Amino acid sequence: RHILTKKSTKRKRHLREPSMVAACDSAMVRRMLPYS
C-alpha cells in the first residue's frame, strides 16, 4: 500500500477493510496529499 504513513490510525483501519475502499479512497488520498 502507498503513503499509509501519512494517514492516522483511524484511517488505516478503514483502509484495511475491503480493498474496494482503496479505489474510492485513492481520489481522497490524492486530495489530502498536498496538505499532509
> What are 1-36's pLDDT values in tens digits?
566 566 566 665 665 665 555 566 677 667 766 655
Q: What is the pLDDT of residue 27?
A: 72
Q: What is the pLDDT of residue 6?
A: 63
Tell me, letter by letter, the H, E, C secondary structure of 1-36. Answer: CCCHHHCCHHHHHHHHCCCHHHHHHHHHHHHHCCCC
If 0-12 CB within 10 Å is exposed, 13-18 middle and 19+ buried, where does residue 22 land? middle
